[in-house]
Structure 1
Amino acid sequence: MKKPQSISIFFTLFLLFIFACIACSNDDDTTATNDGDGEIVTSTDYDISSILTKFNAAGLSYEISGDNVIFTTNNLPDHKSPYYLDTEWEAELYEPYTGSNANFSLNPNRIAEQNITITIPIRPAEATTKEATALGAMGIAINGVVFYNQYAGPNNQPLTSEINSFDQYLGHPQQQGGYHYHQEPEYLTNTFGEDSFLGLLADGFPVYGPIENGEEIINTDLDEYHGHTSATADFPDGIYHYHITSEDPYINGNGFFGTPGNITN
């Protein structure tokens, strides 16, 4: 009579074990990803609302509307530049070129106030169909200056010649006076660190500097969109993010990893 009772207890415990495993799997919505160095990083659905307070500059504001954050910026850089020459801000913000490019040549444009609105998803996700970045603004830095892609207008030319007009902080204005960064915004990395959060692209994914975990990021560390998934100081559970590198394509590769929101000038 004891033997059947033992079997009954065994099956009861076995069923409890199965139910416990199922319950644990249902309670955990995290996914596991590899950060490229063999370390497993767990991540949940992405939410960038925690980093919005880092966008704190004069002439820059944002508001949350549903599942989006809407940035409005006058796009005036908060650092000095030779491109403030002959503007209303010259007395305060003009500074001759102090960079290291022996071929620097001031372009004929001067910084002018803009009115740019960028709508960005708060919960970015990988897009099923990736979109190419267009000429013009493709994202926004924490100081309110917009990011441009790796091409010069009007015909998606390499930056080979245009790069010689970048000021000491690696930005310059276009014909309408809209200042922008195609490359590393050195004023921000000098101020906050080369591993710091620098801004967002229009698809909601963060942009970080060229250093991660004490090592310089190079193009081969990143995917075709110029990003990867790993933990960051702001997202310890891991997030897909772009990195700025010293070589073309600099900020973004073959398009947005996620689905971009609207950009209006």
Structure 2
Amino acid sequence: MANSCKDRESAEGEIVSELHPAFAEFDPENTEIYLDGYNVVVETNGLPNHKTVYWGLGHELYQAEPNVQLTPSIIPNFNGAATLRVAANPEIASSTTSTSLGAIGIAISGAYIFNDQEGNGPLGQAASSLDYTGGHIGPGQYHYHLEPKAWTNDDENLVGIMADGFFLYGRKCHATGDHPTDLDESGGHSTFTQHSPDIEYHYHIENELYLNQYYLLFAGRYQGTPSRIN
């Protein structure tokens, strides 16, 4: 798969000419990203691009993690492909929206972002099944609940895009080089980022410990209008 800037006319005949520069961070082998009028479309195969025990013994990306209590599935046993269509220029909504179980965002690795719940209960009950980068499988999708240390660990790196079209970054802010102190209830604020000199709203992984050892990816509510990932 490859990320491109294919211009496609919308019903209104309006064209957004360029993808946001942050989309260049997404793995082109696992995602295809293009413009469709006012919208950006993110297609993913749902697979992570890094090592994890959930690839299964014998896979080139398999990594032994003896302390992980594995869920029943391994990555090669499912088709996790899905598509997210969001506004190319998302806006803050008049009211916030709660997240739901299932995918709430797509990470730059190609895999999914989930919230702080697991099976209608708190994540803590499933924490033992999470791999070193805060991910596991269930049901049918490899996904992250925690700071994905495979590529971001207390830094400003891009994590992915949420279902409302806003980007999610690591615990630090590019504008200050430190942990932001002005985040709203969803872990978001408006500053420039490494991907844009313009002031724009985005989320961060909040620098608050969960169960005294983890950093949740997204525990808040959407500030924009979410779309389904399907």
Q: TM-score, normalised by structure 1?
A: 0.70
Separation in 2, partners of 1:85, 1:182 = 20
**Are 1:140 and 2:106 matched, yes or no?**
yes
Unaligned runs of 5+ in 2: 1-17
Separation in 1, partners of 2:182, 2:69 = 33
**Are 1:205 and 2:166 matched, yes or no?**
yes
Separation in 2, partners of 1:91, 1:50 = 33
Aligned counterpart in structure 1 of residue 40 of structure 2, from 62, 69, 72: 69
Distance 1:74 1:67, change over 3 A: same
Aligned match of 2:96:
130
| CA offset digits 1:54-78 (Å, max 9, x no partner) | 2233131122111111111111111
Aligned match of 1:194:
155
When the two structures are aligned, how many residues end up with a matched partner?
204
CA contact (8 A) 1:170 1:185 kept: yes
SS class of match (1:120)? strand
CA-based RMSD of the aligned residues comes to 2.2
Unaligned runs of 5+ in 1: 1-46
Separation in 2, partners of 1:188, 1:77 = 11
Q: Map 1:103-182 to 2 at 5 A.
A: 104-111=68-75, 112-153=78-119, 155=120, 157-176=121-140, 178-182=141-145
- 1:93 is matched by which residue type in structure 2? L
Separation in 1, partners of 2:115, 2:55 = 23
Separation in 1, partners of 2:151, 2:79 = 20
**Are 1:97 and 2:65 matched, yes or no?**
yes
Shift of 1:109: 2.3
Aligned match of 1:184:
147
Q: TM-score, normalised by structure 2?
A: 0.80
Separation in 2, partners of 1:201, 1:71 = 11
Separation in 1, partners of 2:220, 2:147 = 18
Aligned match of 1:50:
21
Shift of 1:215: 1.9
CA contact (8 A) 2:21 2:196 kept: no
Shift of 1:221: 4.3
Separation in 1, partners of 2:50, 2:115 = 21
Shift of 1:207: 0.6
Separation in 2, partners of 1:83, 1:236 = 38
Separation in 2, partners of 1:180, 1:95 = 17
Structure number with bigger Rg: 1
- 2:61 is matched by which residue type in structure 1? L
Aligned match of 1:60:
31
Shift of 1:48: 6.3
